[in-house]
Amino acid sequence: MALENRLKTPSRGRRAVFLDRDGCINAMVYNPDFGIVDSPYHPDQFTLLPGVAEAVRAINTMGLLAVVISNQPGVAKGKCTMGLLDAVTQKMRQELSNVGAQLDGVYYCLHHPEAVVQEYHRVCDCRKPAPGLLVQAARELDIDLGASYMVGDGVTDILAGQAAGCRTVWLGSLKNDISHVMVEMDAHPDLVAADLQEAVKRIQEETLIDTARRRES
């Protein structure tokens, strides 16, 4: 089924908070081999950002699904192996579990149009800003995209969330150059928060207001 048709398919499933990974859940790291700040490609490099575990636990307590949606082209670019990517994912899950928080799903796009590993060299519908991963998660986890949130610190996160029909939360500040980029790319976050912990508080506030309105109607 074509992606545009899948997006039109109605859903009355569960609500979710979709989370970008790098910069949202964990800290970025400096990669001396490439001279850039990049994703952690080894579990020893993986560190949860402050307040993230508490934020994910709050999502769990609210009864919403916590689902990671992330572009991870490291294997495609030859920067890490699939085994290392899996080890980083396991560490993320374990560190959250240690404080009573859990992820209900982890979805990665492994592709890249400039991949050096031929298996992953393609233009796909799952690499954000395309909404393919959110659509896949909605199908597999029975998620109502229209009642869910996409949270991230990248313009591509906002665009993917918009395309999937989610409410979107931008982590950062809409000042200076980034505001111009948002306008140019037609990215319009519904909420803005400094970090994931604040984002979840904003989602909690909206949920309480929505619940109160339903009771009054």
Active site residues: 20, 22
SS3 of the chain: the string is CCHHHHHHCCCCCECEEEECCECCCECCEEECCCCEEECCCCHHHCCECCCHHHHHHHHHHHCCEEEEEEECCCCCCCCCCHHHHHHHHHHHHHHHHCCCCCCCEEEEECCECCCCCHHHECCCCCCCCCCHHHHHHHHHHCECHHHCEEEECCHHHHHHHHHHCCEEEEECCCCCHHHHHHHHCCCCCCEEECCHHHHHHHHHHHHHHHHHHHHHC
